[in-house]
Amino acid sequence: MHIRGEEKRIIIVTAALIVFAGVLSAGYILWNLRETNTLLERDILSLGESLRITKTHLENTRRDNTDLSELLDATRNTNEVLSRNLEEQFSKNVALESKVVDISGMVQSISGTVGTLQKLSETDEELLKKYSKVYFLSENYIPSRLIPVPDEYLLDTRLTKEMHADVNPFLTDMMRAADTAGIDIKIVSAYRSFDEQISIKTGYKMLYGSGANQFSADQGYSEHQLGTTFDFTTPVLKILSTQFEKDSAYVWLKDNAHRFGFVLSYPKGNAYYQYEPWHWRFVGVQLATKLYQEKKNFYDLTQREIDNYLISIFDR
């Protein structure tokens, strides 16, 4: 086939354009690859920097964690030491509290003992002695405080009678209780001095001779000198007589006098004097109640037993 010159030119130009287009396309692709590679290199560098920074942070975090772990261990050790110290201190406090309690108990005990001794020192030790031919009161003994017996309690208001002042509240309560119960009791005799007892005993001896010893104490042996002893009768009976035991007043005293601290000194069968249902002595509520409950008499006890009640003789 014969190609004309014009067609040949066209073919050549077309082929040249195709080659040029290919070159351009390849160039563009190569440029684009280079740009992409440049971007990738920048990203790689950026990632590398980020990785470096991350590693640095990680190292710092690890160091911080190590420091924190060490601090935590140190704190635990400190807490253990503090805990042991606290336990030791607690034990010391418990021991100290125990000592304080012991000391407090000792102080209270000593205080109580001092108080008891003080109270005993202020209480007349003669008040619970067993007189009646056993103990002796000198002519100089007079109760610490004597006050008049109220007239309303006396059989004969023309004669002043005295009593130990500290017995007054107990006597008053007993007389009021008796009155409330419809019992009329009167007092014939109360405090008698040493000299008064001499006069009385002398008079009885003149009338009854040695027989007077059966019902009247010698001076210094009379319970009346204490100011805590009373002879009772009634407005009807008027005298001191064994007939008093048949009166409701005696029955009431026998059942109730202990509640106010009074006991019958010379019951039937006693070893000192004849039976005297009228003769009542104040010995304190505690001792009187003990005697009543155990059905014993004052002179049945030893002096040592009786002395234990001296401190409470005026307790209500």
Confidence band of 99 (pLDDT split at 50, 70, 90): low
Which residues partner with 231 through β-bridges?
189, 279
Q: What is the mean pLDDT of residues 251-258?
A: 98
Tell me what the pLDDT averaged over the chain comes to. 83
Q: Does the pLDDT at position 184 exceed 90?
A: yes
**Spatial distance between the Cα atoms of 299 and 269, rounded to a whole number of angstroms:** 11
Q: Are 194 and 138 in contact (CB under 8 A)?
A: yes
DSSP one-letter string for 97-126: HHHHHHHHHHHHHHHHHHHHHHHHHTS-GG
Question: What are the phi and psi torsion angles at 190 (to 5°)?
Answer: -135, -120
Instruction: Note the pLDDT tens digit of each residue in 18-76.
Output: 877 777 776 777 777 777 767 777 777 777 777 777 677 767 767 766 766 776 677 67
Widest pairwise Cα distance in the chain? 207
Does the pTM of the predicted model rise above 0.75? Answer: no
Residue with tokens 């991350």: 54
| Residue 214: both structure tokens together | 């059966």
Instruction: Provide the percentage of residues in the chain whose pLDDT is more than 90.
Output: 47
Is residue 190 classed as helix, strand or coil in its secondary structure? coil
- The angle at the Cα of 174, spanning 173 to 179, to the nearest 5 degrees, equals 100
Rg of the chain over Cα atoms, rounded to whole angstroms, equals 60
- Least confident interval from 56-60, 121-125, 238-242, 264-268: 56-60
pLDDT of res. 107: 41
Please state the separation of Cα 170 from the chain's center in Å: 30
Q: Does the pLDDT at position 315 exceed 90?
A: yes
Confidence band of 79 (pLDDT split at 50, 70, 90): low
Residue 145 DSSP label? -
